């Protein structure tokens, strides 16, 4: 990213800061169909993405396209209801623009969520999976290009991409709420076509438990900027070849709606323990 890009991120961060006030304790990026968490925030302030300079729009069904600041369990929370995806034609730097803004706002803890396809045959549709690690098969990396040291180092370490502390707290929150929480590896692909059964078999051999088209670029950028990251996948459908039925986005949305209460309870419990 060039210095001019840094200036664009800083301009957007100032606008958001002026609208929401205090620096959030935690930010949450909400995936397809998971935006209901934003409506659970107390004392909410809504900032449409369209009113933030340089912020990319998401045109995918299930992504509201707004930033919501409020409170959960006494914590200041900033929820991004919707994200921009590479498959929409956005460059990596554009798809991770919101994450960069969060970093310049001073956010230290980031929870990334997504709707994912289940590769692990022991998973059930509607399961929640805590991301222990990821595999990047998107063909590129959001840090490719000139590095601006104001964002972070040239070669950031990714040994622990997803915080062990946050994973422990998430398991505690799940146990307290009597929610079954799986844990596994998320593999990211570009999309937008769903994967073939042969690809899913290959991903399973590679050690992936769930597949999706987002999250990994944001996790890389967040770690580049020194944020502590957690990832939660909602297994909204079983991946290609696991079941005989074709994959459709409507199924993703329907499953996310069905598990929204568990999803909100898990996020609320995790945030309360930070």
Q: Is 249 a catalytic residue?
A: yes
Q: Is 87 a catalytic residue?
A: yes
Q: Name the active-site residue from 85, 90, 134, 224.
A: 85
Residue 225 pairs in a beta bridge with none
Q: Quick check: bond before 192 cis, omega within 30?
A: yes
Of 93, 110, 229, the C-alpha closest to 151 is 93
Backbone dihedral angles phi then psi of residue 187, each to the nearest 5 degrees: -110, 130
Q: Name the active-site residue from 79, 224, 237, 238.
A: 237
Q: Name the active-site residue from 58, 136, 214, 233.
A: 214
Q: Is 63 a catalytic residue?
A: yes
Q: For helices 260-272 and 249-258, give the axis angle rounded to 10 degrees.
A: 60
Q: Is 32 a catalytic residue?
A: yes
Q: Is 115 a catalytic residue?
A: yes
66-72 and 75-81: which strand pairing? antiparallel
Q: Name the active-site residue from 36, 132, 147, 249.
A: 249
Q: Name the active-site residue from 13, 27, 32, 256.
A: 32
User: What stretch of H or E contains 270?
Assistant: helix 260-272
Q: Name the active-site residue from 63, 90, 134, 224.
A: 63
Q: Name the active-site residue from 6, 44, 54, 87.
A: 87
Q: Name the active-site residue from 115, 127, 138, 256.
A: 115
Q: Name the active-site residue from 88, 172, 183, 251.
A: 88
- Sign of the C-alpha dihedral computed for residues 185, 191, 195 and 198 taken in this order: negative
Q: Is 237 a catalytic residue?
A: yes
> Side-chain half-sphere of 176: how many Cα atoms within 13 Å?
14
Report d(CA 84, CA 214) in Å as an integer: 9
Q: Name the active-site residue from 8, 161, 174, 213.
A: 213
Residues annotated as part of the active site: 32, 63, 85, 87-88, 115, 213-214, 237, 249
């Amino acid at each position: 990213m060039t210095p001019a890009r840094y200036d664009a991120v800083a301009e957007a961060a100032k606008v958001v800061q002026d609208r929401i006030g205090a620096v959030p304790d935690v930010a949450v990026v909400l995936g397809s169909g998971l935006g209901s968490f934003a409506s659970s925030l107390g004392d909410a302030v809504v900032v449409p993405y369209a009113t933030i300079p340089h912020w990319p729009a998401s045109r995918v069904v299930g992504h509201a396209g707004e930033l919501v600041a409020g409170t959960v369990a006494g914590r200041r929370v900033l929820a991004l209801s919707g994200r921009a995806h590479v498959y929409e034609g956005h460059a990596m730097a554009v798809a991770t623009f919101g994450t960069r803004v969060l970093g310049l706002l001073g956010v230290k803890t980031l929870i990334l969520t997504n709707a994912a396809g289940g590769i692990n045959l022991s998973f059930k549709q509607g399961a929640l999976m805590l991301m222990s690690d990821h595999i990047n098969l998107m063909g590129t990396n959001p840090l490719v290009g000139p590095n601006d040291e104001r964002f972070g180092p040239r070669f950031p370490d990714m040994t622990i991409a997803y915080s062990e502390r946050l994973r422990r707290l998430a398991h505690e929150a799940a146990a307290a709420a009597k929610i079954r929480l799986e844990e596994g590896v998320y593999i990211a692909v570009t999309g937008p076509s769903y994967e073939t059964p042969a690809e899913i078999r290959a991903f399973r051999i590679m050690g992936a438990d769930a597949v999706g088209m987002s999250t990994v670029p944001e996790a890389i950028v967040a770690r580049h900027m020194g944020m502590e990251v957690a990832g939660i996948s909602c297994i909204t459908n079983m991946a290609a070849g696991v079941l005989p039925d074709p994959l459709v986005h409507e199924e993703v949305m329907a499953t996310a709606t069905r598990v929204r209460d568990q999803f909100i309870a898990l996020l609320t419990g995790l945030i309360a323990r930070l």
